[in-house]
Structure formats: structure tokens, C-alpha cells
Amino acid sequence: MRTATPVNFTLDLNGRSGHRSSQLAHALIEAIARGQIHDGDRLPSTRTLAATFGLARTAVVGAYEELTAAGFLVARPGGSTYVERGAAAAARAGAFGAGPTGAFGAGPTGAFGVGPAGAGPPPLAPTTPRPAGPASPVTYDLRPGYADPGLISARDWTRAMRLASTPARSAREAQLDLRDQLSGHLRRARGLAVDPEDIFLFPSVSNALRAVAVTCGLAGQPVAFEDPGYAKARLALGQAGAIIRPVPVDDDGIRAQDLRGSDRACYVTPAHQFPLGGRMPVPRRADLLAWAAAGGALVLEDDYDGEFRYDVPPLNPLRSMPAAAGHVVYLGTSSKILSRGLRVSWAVLPARFRAAMAGYLDRAGDEVSQVSAAFLASFIATGALTRHQSRAMRTYRARQERFVAACRDHIPAARALGIEAGLHVTLVFDRPLDDVAAAGRLAEAGLACLPLSPFCVGPVRRSGLLCGYSRLPETMARGAAELIGRVTADLMAVG
């Protein structure tokens, strides 16, 4: 007779939304991440677990089935359910968000950012600005930089997780497979032909930039950086010892004539300048590459959301241009395509740095989760990523159009920048506005966005609001715009 497995762990089911089975699935994942349940453990029967926590048995059955489909649990002959090998590492890595409707999302176990903040040189590395803590629940989430994981196909997600949970492959094999798959994806989606051996994987772009700064000899060297620009990237380079030199940008991005011969690298976001949203035109790209070639410098190209463009011709990455391979480090991330919780980013290096980067990663141990790597490789190989991007692009275009139109109707003092690409727009105003105060008041009213001015570090401080529309349903666009219009009008009237 089989001995019943006792319940020797706790489950927190308070304050969760959604179906009871999904609530229980997330609670079990948290117990695995905390170490209360280990890889290989046999779980209690559905009847025992239901009786212990006062749940309907159907909810427990549903939770077990959901986690089995996701590769965290495995059902074995005789009716027993066990924790799959690698489940604990995957749970701690956040490889389970809100289920198929929020795969790898920022659910109870997936609240991940694009990289650690950390402390950098105070004058040049301010922390990433955040709106004041809202006094009421967020009704309109317009924080930039988030994809909508609810757009991921449940069928594709489940299939990729099943393939990823196959225990036969090692972590190294999973990473090699992902590098091969990324090589094909970059060629098809971004027109970028690269050798898989030049692709290196990281948990975040911040990790990648720190590694690039070390292996490419940027420590102690001046690096030109867009101003305003991406604060976390500035932090990462500063932490690795680079000397950040802010360079003002205009509507088309950075200008090569503003760079110096002494600059050893230049960080740019040419597909959708962060935060202003400009797309760098081809002549300016050519000038930037000519500057790099003349001085033996590097261009650090962060293609953070270049996959998404709306009603404009494609602009392939700088790295795809002739003679760019020896001077451009190309950076990409899965966080804007799928979700931050996946935590897979990549850097494509010039071939001469291949050995140095491989050695650095061996020493640093900055590894991507095996489950996340295997999941993304499967997601690409099955065509799911291509299908998802096509579907997401249509949805994001519709949401952007509705939000921008609502802003034109209800915020007459504002102009929307960066509407041709990406996942956010920047609202700039024709009158002086305390954008930090505006973001704080909007947060109190239930709308989360970011002020523009903290992204500036040079003498010119621009004001505005960064508004992400990727998670804003079209039916809510008008309400969000009306609220922004009221708050900003009140502040500008007082000012």
C-alpha cells in the first residue's frame, strides 16, 4: 500500500486574483522557489492537499495540470505527481508568471526588471526615475518598457514549456541551441546576419553592458552617451568603470559631429531613441559608423524594441550595415518582445572580442536560466515568436493610435514624440511643466507613467511624460488622456 505524502509546506492564497486553480499554481511555485518543496519531491495527492487547505479538489487538479503542462511537475505511473528536475531554479528565475495569459509576466514570482540598479558615479548615474507611490490602485498602467504577456498564445506557451522542460539537455546545450535560434531570428526579423559564436547571452542588457565594458577595454575610457538616455544602461557602464560623457540628442538621435576622437565608444538607441523616440536616419547612421572606423571606436547599439514599427519602412540595425561588424556591439532583449520575467538578453560582439567575452563569462558566472534559454529557443524554433510578434504588432499599433488620438483631443498643450516605433510615446508640452510633480499627482490618481527630466544628466533639462501604451486597452485610452490633460493643465496653470 502506498504511503500518503504529508503536507509539510505552507501556501499563501490571500490577495490573489483569477481562478482558484491558477492562484494555487502560483502559490506552489512560490513554495518551490522558497525551498519548501524540492526538485524530485513527491507532492501530496490532490485529495490530501484540498482537505488540508480547504480547497475544492477540482482546483488542486487544475493547478497540478497547469504546472505539469508548464514543465514544473511530472505525473508518473501510479498516480503520483513529482517536482521536475530544474523546477526550483526555474521558479527562482521567474519562469512562471500569470500562466498562459501572462506567461513569464510580472506575477507573484515574476517581478523582474531589465537589470539591477546599483549605485554608480553620482553626477552621471542617477537611479531610474519612478513615479511616487500611488495612493490608490493603478487604473492606467502607462509605465514604458513593458510588453503585454497576455498576448502570448497559451497553446504556443505550453508547447514551448513542455519542450523546455525535457531534462535530457545540459545548460550548455540549451544555450548553444538558443544562440543558433537567435541567429536565425535576427536574420529574419531584423535583417541582421551574424555568426552564432558571436552571440553571448545574459540575464539583462545591464549585465551585457557591464561585460562589454570589461571585455572591450572601456573601463577608464570616455564613452559618449545619449542625453536624455536610458538610465540603467548609463549605470551599468559606469559601474564597469567607463567614464560617461553625456551628448545631447535631437529629434533624429545623436550626431557624429558631437562625438570626439577621444571617445572610445558611443551608446545609442537608433531604432527608437530612448526616451524621445526618434529613428536615426540612414545618413546619420553612416556618419556614426565612419566616426567609429576612423578612430577605432565602438558603437554600442541597443535595439531594445526595434522589432515594433508602425506604418513606416523598416530600418535595419546599424550592425547590418557594410563594415559595421568590426565596430558595432549589438544588444537585444526578450523583455520587450515577450516579458521581463523571461530574463534573456544578448550581445553580438565583433569577432575579435569572442575569446575575451567567453573567458569573462566563465569567470563571472553570469548565466541565463537553463529553462528560460530552452523556452526561448523552442519558442523561436516552432515559429511561435514570429506569430507572436505579428499579433502583438497589430495590437500595439491599434493601442498606440487610439491613445495618441485621445491625447490630441484631450491634451492640446502636448505633442507626442516617437509614435513610429516601439512601445511608448513621450508627451512634451508647449508650456513649462514640473513633470516629476505631474507623474506624482497622476500616480495618486491611479495612472502610472514616468517623468522625462530625470533621464537628462547634462545642462539641458527637458520636461515631459513617458507613456507606455502596450498594456493600455483601447477602451481605456480616452480616460487616460483625459486624466493626464486635467493634471497637467492644473499644474501649468499654477506654474
- In DSSP terms, 399 is beta-bridged to none
Question: What CATH fold (topology level) applies to the domain 154-384?
Answer: Aspartate Aminotransferase; domain 2 (3.40.640)
Three-class DSSP category at 372? helix
Exposure string for 163-181, b = 16+ CB within 10 A, e = fewer: bbbeeebebeebbbbbbbb
Q: Which long-range contacts (CB under 8 A, 24 or more apart) does 488-494 make?
A: 488/411, 488/413, 488/414, 488/429, 488/433, 488/438, 489/413, 491/433, 491/434, 491/437, 491/438, 491/441, 492/413, 492/429, 492/431, 492/432, 492/433
What is the spatial distance between Cα 105 and Cα 392, in angstroms, rounded to a whole number?
Answer: 15
CATH tag, 20-92: 1.10.10.10
Separation CA 60–CA 48 (nearest Å): 10
Reduce the DSSP state of residue 237 to 3 states and report it. Answer: helix
* Residues 286, 318: Cα–Cα separation, whole Å: 9
Within 10 angstroms of residue 42's Cβ, the number of other Cβ atoms is 13
Question: For residue 368, which of 155, 164, 109 has the smallest C-alpha distance?
Answer: 164
Q: Which of 276, 279, 281 is nearest to 303 (CA)?
A: 279
Query: Is 154-384 in the same CATH topology as 140-152+387-494?
Result: no
Among 250, 275, 252, 234, which residue's Cα sits nearest to residue 435? 275
Q: Per-domain residue ranges for the chain?
A: 20-92, 140-152+387-494, 154-384
Going residue by residue through the chain (495 aa), what tens digit of pLDDT does each one get? 456 777 878 888 877 766 788 888 888 988 888 888 888 888 998 889 888 888 888 888 888 877 876 667 877 766 788 887 777 776 775 555 443 333 333 322 222 222 222 222 222 223 333 444 434 578 999 999 889 988 999 889 888 888 877 655 677 888 999 999 999 999 988 889 999 999 999 999 999 999 999 999 999 999 999 999 999 999 999 999 999 999 999 989 999 999 999 999 999 999 999 999 999 999 999 999 999 999 999 999 999 888 888 877 777 899 999 889 999 999 999 988 988 888 899 999 999 999 999 999 988 877 788 888 999 999 999 999 999 999 999 999 999 999 999 999 999 999 999 999 899 999 999 999 999 999 999 999 999 999 999 999 988 889 999 999 999 999 999 999 999 999 999 999 875
DSSP class per residue in 425-482? EEEEESS---HHHHHHHHHHTTEE-EESGGG--SS-----EEEE-TT--GGGHHHHHH
Supply the DSSP symbol for 419: T
Which superfamily, per CATH, for 140-152+387-494? Aspartate Aminotransferase, domain 1 (3.90.1150.10)
Distance CA 226, CA 293 (A): 20
Between the two ends of the chain, the Cα-to-Cα distance in Å is 79
pLDDT at 105: 34
| Residue at 66: amino acid letter | E
**Whether 250 contacts 243, CB under 8 Å:** no
Interhelix angle 370-381/384-410, nearest 10 degrees: 90
Q: What is the largest CA-CA distance in the chain?
A: 80
Q: For 255-408, list the strands marked E by DSSP.
A: 265-268, 298-302, 328-333, 345-348
**What sign does the CA torsion over 346, 347, 348, 354 have?**
negative
**What was the pLDDT predicted at 369?**
84
Backbone dihedral region of 78: left (phi > 0), alpha (psi from -120 to 50 degrees) or beta?
left
DSSP label at residue 321:
S
- What burial letters (b/e) apply to 45-71, b meaning 16+ CB within 10 Å? bbebbbeeeebeeebbebbbbbbbbbb
Q: Which amino acid is at 63?
A: A
Nine-digit cell at 456? 537628462
